[in-house]
Amino acid sequence: MSDEGMLSPYRALDLTDEKGLLCGKILGDLGADVIMIEHPLGNPARRLGPFHHDIPDSENSLYWFAYDTNKRGITLDIEKADGRKLFKRLVERTDFVIESFKPGYMESLGLGYEELEKINPGIIMTSITPFGPGGPYRDYKESDLVLMSLGGLTYISGEPDRPPPRITYPQAYLLSGAYAAVGSMMAFYYRGMTGEGQYVDVSMQECCEWASYFTPEWWDMAQTNLIRAGMWRVFGPAKMRMVYPCKNGYVSCWILAGPVASRGQKRLVEWMNREGMCPDWLRELDFKAWDIFSLGEATQEFLDGMAQAFTDFFLTKTKEELFEFARESELFLAPMSTAKDLFENPQLKARDFWVEVQHPELGATITYPGAFLKSTVASPSIRRRAPLIGEHNEEIYIGELGLPKETLRLLRGAGVI
Amino acid sequence: MNAKGRKVLEGLKVVELTRIIVGPHTGRMLAEHGATVVKVETIHHPDTVRLATPHKDNIGGLDRAGYFSKYNVNKLGLTLNMEKPQGIEVFKRLVQWADVVIESNAPSVMPKLGLTYEELSLIKPDIIMVSTNQLGQTGPWRLFKAYGAQAAAMAGFYYLTGFPDQDPPGVFGAYTDMVSPQWVVCALLTALDYRRRTGKGQYIDHSQFEAGVHWLATTVLDYGINDRVAERMGNRDPYMCPHGVYPCRGEDRWVAIAVSNDEQWRAFCKVIGNPVWTREPRFSTLLERKRNEDELDMLVAEWTVEHSPQEVMTLMQEAGVPAGVVATSEDLHRDPQLKHRGHFQVLEHKEMGPTAYDAPPYRLSKTPFELHSAAPCLGQHNEYILKEILGMGDEEIADLMAEGVFE
């Protein structure tokens, strides 16, 4: 297994803000040399909390820490003539350019794909925009909630008697970054065979739409809107409870038909019985007789009764007890983890999932999620923490581009760098 | 070489032994750009999603499931009985043909079938194989059987969805399935490039639970550093106000509005007609609005409820305020921007007739994707695969068929 990632021969220039940071992180974690190019005043994503020790400083954003691992950082104002010139020099020796400015912005600066291709025919330029470079919504304003809603996942979430909620931790930007990485790598593979780069256009709305499961299929196939059912999962004519409170939190538990599920469910019922918490009719149920996913002939009343019996029982047990039972008994039950549970999770620990990353500027070592998968050649890894503002200006501008120190000072004073 | 007509993954050969979403979506992303993807199934234990609703015209059938259809467009379908040793042999012949193997079974399955990476790389030394499942190939919980919903609950998404004053309803479905395939495809493309340069294959072990944790990375850092456990906030946002999902005219119709600065607040007020309440001091700054957010949300709702979601979105967006229809299934198909993108492409399915398939959310300028064939019916391409890909003769096929190998 190599220390150097598989993408180590390659470089990316990352001009994204929070809308696209994950793209460069994925490339960087796979080994690419990713250079985050920020405005001299810092990337707007640095304003996003939470913050290290709750101190809201632009070097303390945990969102920045999480999604800028493996990136070096330089400052550059590409709106300035000298800035654009330096950018073009960097483009000469890069493989990817990733940006999330509004449609047309890079072109307006003479830095659109057509221009960059002239400088470097192999360049892969990925543009992440809320709705794409054209169309009726081209200039529409975005936010996580707006994109997730237009994508369809919001409508199918939550309890029917409340407004549909989003996932509290924003997902739209991460979905966009992840699909942007796929598009970039697709173009990269093509370039590997042909030497030709190309332009990758990522629509954040379409990325969010892909997170809405078979929402569109319900309409296309059955002229029906998929609707939210909260804790209840709709299976054909009946609905079955899927989320249960327990002694110290919540668990997700799927009660299903079929031979696989029936074993675990039977054992659950036996456990309930041993503790004197099982109604007779539940003890006598033949789970195997149900049609998978359609729950056979069970009435809603019957399923409600079952859900109540499980709820009463689960409230006497912790997440950990229930999950241990689930693992031993093949029950489809899992704890609904909090951040604390994740941190303490034995499976993640056993998989060496966590990595300790040095933050000398904070005098701290911070525990991060590590490799996002394992490869026998070279797993993704965290080689460096997210950059400070302009941290690698000297390394890149002087060390690589050969700018004299005085020039760097001048450009810094003039707000170019 | 005709760059325009060329597909990125033309000539790439993929074998899938996958179910439900993550494995199939991974294969689908390769198939979108020209890979030949053989999906191996069996009639004895069909993919669960072939049994799930929606069914075309609400008529059930293994070849009428939208859930299956979505993730298996462009693929060739083979039915193969892997309980039979001859079935395993046929699978191994496919591996010999293939560049990539994708499997998404429980970790006990491939070893039981004699099809681990170690065994397959004896057949094809440079094979690239990916195993993706809930919890990964190793670790004390690896054999726990779970659906994506359990992985999503374990990864923390369930706890973080819903309103603080009620039990968390859970995220719809298996959210980790929505955030896993992207990483796998990136790794596969990286592995393919690595093989192009070095001639070496590899094995990739992907855990959907671990993928999920990455999507909540900030909350984990927040706990580790600040001892804070992230809680669900409904549709509130730490920095924006008003921010939420508001009721509209019509049955269960909603619109999302996210006012993110003073300029947008002023524009918002103008759109709703500058009612007197918007000039009250308790709504005059972001901090004040945050303090009075409950009341503010009620007042906003009083306005939105008089309008359709489309009206609210259009009026707000024209004024520069982020707003979006909370789209239903129907809304997605009528969305003018998705239409502009050509997002839904209709293909003729053998059993279901015209069927709409989502386009990928990214577009390559020189080598566009192509959705060319509807999802396969069970065993639809058996003959083609056995004869054209594996070069089997009629007699051999007939013999094996008689033994129940192609079921």
Full DSSP string of B113-149: HT--HHHHHHHSTT-EEEEEESS-SSSTTTT----HH
Weakest-pLDDT range from A135-139, A288-292, B131-135: A288-292
Q: Rg of the Cα trace of chain A?
A: 26
Q: What does the pLDDT read at residue A217?
A: 97
Q: Could you tell me which of B15, B71, B77, B95 has the C-alpha nearest to residue B41? A: B77
Chain A positions touching B218 (Cβ under 8 A) are 50, 62-63, 65-66, 169
Residues 6+ apart with CB under 8 A from A215: A152, A153, A155, A156, A226, B328, B329, B332
- Given a cut of 60, whether residue A129 has pLDDT beyond it is yes
8 A C-beta contact, residue A206 and residue B343: yes
Mean pLDDT over A297-317 rounds to 89
What is the fold of A231-337?
formyl-coa transferase, domain 3 (3.30.1540)
Q: H helices of B343-393, where?
A: 382-384
8 A C-beta contact, residue B14 and residue B98: yes
Chain B positions touching A246 (Cβ under 8 A) are none
Domain ranges of chain A: 11-212+351-413, 231-337
Q: What does the pLDDT read at residue A288?
A: 66
Chain B positions touching A377 (Cβ under 8 A) are 191, 194, 200, 202
The DSSP symbol for A317 reads: S
CATH 3.40.50.10540 fits A11-212+351-413, yes or no: yes
Mean pLDDT over B17-27 rounds to 97
Just list the catalytic residues of B: 177
Contact state of A217 with B158 under an 8 Å Cβ cutoff: no
Residues 6+ apart with CB under 8 A from B329: A152, A215, A216, A217, A218, A219, A224, A225, A226
Shortest distance between the Cα of A209 and any Cα of chain B, in A, equals 8
Mean pLDDT over B132-137 rounds to 94
Mean pLDDT over B305-327 rounds to 98
Task: Name the region of A53 (left: φ>0; alpha: ψ -120 to 50; beta: rest).
Answer: left
| Tens of pLDDT, residues A333-354 | 999 999 999 999 999 999 999 9
Report cis status (omega within 30 of 0) of the bond before B247: no
Mean pLDDT over B167-171 rounds to 87
Contact state of B150 with A252 under an 8 Å Cβ cutoff: yes
8 A C-beta contact, residue B336 and residue B48: no
Average pLDDT, chain B: 96
| Tens of pLDDT, residues A276-299 | 999 998 888 776 665 444 455 677
Give me the residue from B144, B186, B363 closest to A181, CB to CB: B186
Burial class (CB in 10 A: 0-12, 13-18, 19+), A355: middle
Which three-class secondary structure state does DSSP give residue B279? helix
| Tens of pLDDT, residues B343-397 | 999 999 999 999 999 999 999 999 999 999 999 999 999 999 999 999 999 999 9
Domain with CATH 3.40.50.10540 in chain B: 13-215+341-402
CATH code given to domain B13-215+341-402: 3.40.50.10540
Contact state of B364 with A198 under an 8 Å Cβ cutoff: yes
Contact state of B48 with A226 under an 8 Å Cβ cutoff: no
Q: What does the pLDDT read at residue A294?
A: 47
Record the pTM. 0.96
Who wins on pLDDT, A301 or A111?
A: A111
What is the fold of B243-328?
formyl-coa transferase, domain 3 (3.30.1540)
Which helix or strand (DSSP H or E) is residue A233 part of? strand A232-235
Domain with CATH 3.30.1540.10 in chain B: 243-328
